[in-house]
């Protein structure tokens, strides 16, 4: 029996992968770095420490990873203060799930970004726990962020369902032992191998309902 639900943020509740891509690409190019079609996919699921190091080491930006991290987070916060790009139906899905089970967030976004989004979207009170991958040892596809979310909820990982959109996120939640509901990202879809790990595949978050997360859902 599933006793809690853990949501990814970017690509599940937020239509934000394109914003991340745009912000980081502009940042890298303005500083003389290289950016190609594979850069965003490579960084999906990475913790802030990992993607800032990737930009420094692989994309050729001379600023330190710490500076890159701080700069990009500031740019993302500015964009969110202009508009919070909630997925259509995301609020309603969260409300449906929160009515029956405790919820958490397990995100690769930085802690300040999670806080800003939940505050501006007025979703704070629906989530009993939030975890950023910058707070654990390893980012997705490793299971750390999902294991920490389960720990903070006080629920065994195998009693949790995770809602994910990306190949690294699906792998992360599955490695944590959770039941995985996949809602494939439209712009950066997970590969077939990742989707085969999902227990349920939905076309949209509007389809997410409590019955979907149980083993007989």
Q: Does 39 lie in the same domain as 91?
A: no
Of 60, 77, 61, nearest in space to 20 by CA: 77
Q: Does 95 lie in the same domain as 76?
A: no
- Domain enclosing residue 35, as ranges: 17-82
> Does pTM surpass 0.85?
yes
Instruction: Give the chain's domain count.
Output: 2
Q: Does 160 lie in the same domain as 69?
A: no
Domain boundary residue, one of 82, 113, 132 = 82
Q: Can you tell me which residue has the tokens 């995985």?
A: 180
Half-sphere exposure (Cβ direction) of 214: Cα atoms closer than 13 Å: 10
The per-residue pLDDT string of the chain (217 residues; one tens digit each, 9 = 90 and over) reads: 999 999 999 999 999 988 999 999 999 999 999 998 788 778 877 888 899 999 999 999 999 999 999 999 999 999 999 999 999 999 999 999 999 999 999 999 999 999 999 999 999 999 999 999 999 999 899 999 999 999 999 999 999 999 999 999 999 999 999 999 999 988 778 888 889 999 999 999 999 999 888 865 4
CATH code of residue 154: 3.40.50.1000
Q: Does 208 lie in the same domain as 160?
A: yes
Domain boundary residue, one of 82, 99, 114 = 82
Q: Does 76 lie in the same domain as 95?
A: no
Q: What is the largest CA-CA distance in the chain?
A: 52
Beta carbons within 10 angstroms of residue 165's beta carbon: 25
Q: Does 156 lie in the same domain as 78?
A: no
């Amino acid at each position: 029996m599933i006793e809690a639900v853990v949501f990814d943020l970017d690509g599940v509740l937020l239509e934000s992968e394109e914003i991340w891509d745009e912000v980081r690409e502009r940042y890298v190019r303005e500083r003389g770095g290289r950016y190609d079609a594979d850069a965003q996919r490579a960084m999906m699921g990475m913790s802030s420490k990992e993607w800032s190091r990737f930009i420094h080491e692989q994309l050729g930006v001379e600023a330190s990873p710490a500076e890159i991290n701080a700069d990009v987070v500031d740019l993302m916060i500015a964009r969110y203060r202009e508009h919070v790009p909630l997925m259509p139906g995301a609020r309603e899905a969260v409300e449906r799930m929160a009515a029956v089970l405790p919820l958490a967030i397990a995100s690769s976004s930085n802690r300040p970004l999670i806080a800003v989004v939940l505050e501006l979207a007025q979703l704070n009170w629906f989530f009993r726990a939030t975890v950023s991958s910058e707070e654990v040892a390893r980012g997705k596809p490793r299971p750390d962020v999902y294991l920490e979310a389960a720990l903070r909820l006080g629920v065994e990982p195998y009693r949790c369902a995770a809602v994910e959109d990306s190949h690294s996120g699906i792998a992360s939640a599955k490695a944590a032992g959770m039941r995985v509901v996949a809602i494939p990202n439209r712009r950066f879809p997970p590969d077939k191998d990742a989707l085969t790990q999902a227990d349920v595949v939905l076309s949209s978050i509007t389809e997410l309902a409590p019955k979907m997360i149980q083993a007989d859902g």
